[in-house]
Amino acid sequence: MQMFYKKALMALLLLLLIDALVAGACIYQSYLHTSLLPAHATPLPWRLPTTAEGRDPHTRVQVNDDSLSYDFNLSKPGDYASVDLHFVDGAGAPKLVDLTRYSSVELVAKCQPANALTMVIPTFDAQFSQPGKLLTYPTPVTYFACNEQGVRSKLSLAHLSIPQWWFDLLKRDISRQAFKLDQVPKIGFGISSQSPLQVDSHVEITELSLNGRDYRYIAALVVWLAVSAVGFAVWLFLAHARALVASMNTQLKRDLPFMAYRQLTLEPYRDKEKAAVLRFIATNYANAELDLDTVATETGVNRKKINDLLKAELGMTFSAYLNKLRLTEAARLLADNGSATVAEVAYSVGYANVSYFNKLFKDEYGCTPKAFRGMTSPEDVTPPPAETATSV
């Protein structure tokens, strides 16, 4: 069984290593990070609008590989300046994208002078939005700050809100604030009501990205861990059963010589004391009252010499040899699959205490007598014929 335990430990360590690698890969893949800059390398392609619709006519937008920037000078309240990223497909046609997997937009915003800006994300709603007319799309918005040194912001997509002007414009119920970012035509970064008027202003946005978690990878990890744990448990149970049966069969074959001592015939031996001791124990082992004093009294051999004889002959003390004989015979009786109960087998081989018998048997064979009976067959423990027994 030691070899089985070593193999089981190695298999467990290997499984834990594989689980750790799978867990690391799944957790890593679950973190979503989609950079929107540079425009030619992003997995979510976009383009700037071809017209300055809705914007201050003095707005000048510039796109570099690593930044978006625009200059404007607002002449009066109501003027608007922004830079809008319209999502497109591979052919450059407008496209609605699903941003529900993302939880935030991260960016660094620099501006001169310091300013308060907005991020708007229109989303198509089939109930009342008209395709292509962005004013009919619910337009969640949030605010962020910028200054000359640059401000890093993480804008939560879970905390956007639709402004009141949109409900007033479309005469919609202002209490219906729910929206879903599953059909988004663009992301826009523009001025706010606190942006300065009649001042030459510059805004630059860098390190623009969408971030979130894809919990499908976590679900896949949970499934993998459950399947691997159940699979390992099933393998361990079956492999342990096979190893236990093989171990018992090996031990039973190794114990057969001890059974042979009970079949010794009355033949002349050179060592009369040894023959007398072995013959007496083999004949009376099933007597629950048998002890070392009884053997010494009946054979005329003193206690110390009996133990010395057994250690020299078998490498065991009297108690160990007696238990070996009893347990080996009990194993044979159990393997016969007869009608005798475990208690009856225990009594028949000299154990008056069934619990003690069960403990000794499990220590010897690695399983309970009941389990042993179900895993062995009579031929596994058939003792050799008397005439082939080893002479003492």
Q: What is the pLDDT of residues 125-142, one digit of tens each?
A: 988 889 989 899 999 999
Query: What percentage of the chain exceeds 90 in pLDDT?
Result: 38
* Sheet with strand 46-47: strands edge to edge: 46-47, 82-87, 186-191, 115-120, 141-146
- Residue tagged 């133990």 (tokens): 307
Residue 372 confidence (pLDDT): 82
Residue 152 confidence (pLDDT): 96
Give the architecture-level CATH label for domain 36-213. Answer: Sandwich (2.60)
The candidate with the shortest Cα–Cα distance to 122, out of 92, 159, 166, is 166
Residue 391 confidence (pLDDT): 39
Q: What is the DSSP string of 244-269?
A: HHHHHHHHHHHHHHHHHGGG--S---
Residue 260 confidence (pLDDT): 46
The candidate with the shortest Cα–Cα distance to 390, out of 208, 286, 251, 260, is 260
Residues of the chain with CATH 1.10.10.60: 225-388
How confident is residue 59, by pLDDT bands cut at 50, 70 and 90?
Answer: low
Instruction: Cite the DSSP H helix spans in the chain.
Output: 2-30, 164-170, 215-260, 272-284, 292-299, 303-314, 318-335, 342-348, 354-365, 369-375
164 pLDDT higher than 60:
yes
The candidate with the shortest Cα–Cα distance to 65, out of 41, 81, 92, is 41
- Residue tagged 């619709």 (tokens): 53
**CA dihedral of residues 149, 154, 156, 162 (deg, nearest 10):** 20
- Average pLDDT value over all residues in the chain: 84
How confident is residue 251, by pLDDT bands cut at 50, 70 and 90?
Answer: low
Q: Are 296 and 302 in contact (CB under 8 A)?
A: yes
Beta bridge partners of 106: 154, 209
Residue 387 confidence (pLDDT): 39
Residues of the chain with CATH 2.60.120.260: 36-213
How confident is residue 392, by pLDDT bands cut at 50, 70 and 90?
Answer: very low
Give the architecture-level CATH label for domain 225-388. Answer: Orthogonal Bundle (1.10)
What does the pLDDT look like over 344-365, one tens digit per residue?
A: 898 988 998 989 999 998 888 8
pLDDT mean over 211-222: 93
How confident is residue 310, by pLDDT bands cut at 50, 70 and 90?
Answer: confident
pLDDT mean over 277-290: 86
How confident is residue 379, by pLDDT bands cut at 50, 70 and 90?
Answer: low
75-111 in b/e form (b: 16+ CB < 10 A) is eeeebbbbbbbbbbeeeeeebbbebeebeebebbbbb
Can you tell me the distance from the alpha carbon of 207 to that of 183, in angstroms, rounded to the nearest whole number?
24
378 pLDDT higher than 80:
no
Mean pLDDT check: name the lowest of 158-167, 168-177, 203-212.
Answer: 168-177
How confident is residue 237, by pLDDT bands cut at 50, 70 and 90?
Answer: confident
| Residue 267 φ/ψ, nearest 5 degrees | -120, 160
